[in-house]
Amino acid sequence: MFVDIAKISIQAGNGGDGAVAFHREKYVAAGGPDGGDGGKGGDIVFVVDDNLATLADFRYKRKYKAENGANGSGNRKTGKSAPDLIIKVPRGTIIREINSGKVMSDMSSDEPFIAAKGGKGGWGNQHFATATRQVPRFAKDGKPGEHWDISLELKLLADVGLLGFPSVGKSSLISVVSEAKPKIANYHFTTLKPNLGVVRIDEGSSFVMADIPGLIEGAGDGAGLGHEFLKHVERCRLLIHIVDVSGSEGRDPFEDYKTINEELVKFNPELAERPQIVAGNKIDLASDEQLEAFKKFIVEEEKLPYFEICAPILMGTDELIKYTAKRLAELPPIKRYEAEIIAPEELLEKETNSFNISVVNGVYYVDAPFLIRVLNRVDMDDWESLQYFQRVLISSGIIDALKEKGINEGDSVNIYDFEFEFVN
């Protein structure tokens, strides 16, 4: 089954806790604190796998969690860091954060993407020894890993997209000009999933062609296969619009051509501006009058390049492919989606604002998982960012809770390694 959209939850591993330990060795008095640090939690990493063609693997498994880092131990031993959790996706997969709808990454290159960062390990008590505090009996817990609810959407990476009504010959064309072997039959909707084929021009020169399932009137509004497959032409640099110029299916080729373009405008106006070549197929079934009238309409009225073909017997296909390659050489590369910045306030919309405050040796430690991603995106050297962060602390009730705990002006507050003096 072809699956091109999925929603999953990812959770990076938590950092291991720091250890509270003291050096014990014969003949060595007062060995001092030697609790080791916790290990780092595992990241969630997405990588491209060209052996995958759909997102079907995500239909049944919706939650992915990396391992936690190991806790520290005595003798200053740092806990083992957890391995990263690798998630493989097809090339062309768009990763979005669900709450904001913003793009986190476009998995079109071979570069891995760290979607959720594992938490840092907590410090062992060896770090807290001072001249006045020589026997620290506390350590820090590991930092929680990032959590995201994300959507995966596959948008095919193809240079050329084939458009047209069902049974106009799209599958026949891609089967004779590329290595793709789509199912071809004498009935509508033979193609139920996009097919990709590599069209080779000569040594070192090729392009990717996508056979998009046939569209019907209303597809731009979601009718039929609708949006499921229209999105797969969004990346295409060039569109080849195939029309049954003979009207062998009982339809008017002029109306077919207009209807498909109207559906493109409804779905995404940018698609209507994409360069387009028109291919009149099934010319062996058309009369001279039909051929001449349709050619005149496309060339003179629509002012588009036009080719007459009979795909099954390769009539006219060589000229069409050579012209397509020439046009592609003049066009920009395939569209890539840029990662978008997710503002801190967008992350808080659906978070549970639970927190816990503990006091250790006069320092107020705030454990608030909902603040982790906010902290990662707030610039503490920027005044406006600090003001925003202060508003979050007030609105979440943390400031009031600190006051209830008895905090005084000048006392230290620590929130996941960010430490500051409390100002009333």
Enter the CATH code of domain 1-156: 2.70.210.12
What is residue 113's predicted lDDT score, i.e. its pLDDT? 97
Q: What residues have CB less than 8 Å from 258, skipping those under 6 apart? A: none
pLDDT lower than 50: segments of the chain: 1, 185, 187-191, 216-226
Position 257: which residue type? Y
What is residue 131's predicted lDDT score, i.e. its pLDDT? 72
Domain boundaries, the chain: 1-156, 160-328, 345-424
Q: Do the bridges between strand 356-360 and strand 306-308 make them parallel or antiparallel, or are there none, so unpaired?
A: unpaired
What is residue 202's predicted lDDT score, i.e. its pLDDT? 79
Q: What residues have CB less than 8 Å from 403, skipping those under 6 apart? A: none
Instruction: Return the DSSP state at 297.
Output: I
Enter the CATH code of domain 160-328: 3.40.50.300
What is residue 191's predicted lDDT score, i.e. its pLDDT? 47
Q: Which fold has domain 345-424?
A: GMP Synthetase; Chain A, domain 3 (3.30.300)
Contact criterion met (CB below 8 Å) for 155 and 108: no
Task: Tell me the whole-structure pTM to 2 decimals.
Answer: 0.72
- Counting other chains too, the contacts that 321-330 makes at CB distance below 8 Å and 24 or more residues apart are 321/177, 321/199, 321/201, 322/201, 323/277, 324/160, 324/199, 324/207, 324/238, 324/240, 324/277, 325/199, 325/201, 325/205, 325/207, 327/238, 327/275, 327/277, 328/159, 328/160, 328/207, 328/237, 328/238
CA distance 110 to 108: 7
Edge-to-edge strands of the sheet including 205-211? 195-202, 205-211, 160-163, 238-244, 276-281, 306-308
Q: At 383, which helix (H) or strand (E)?
A: helix 383-395
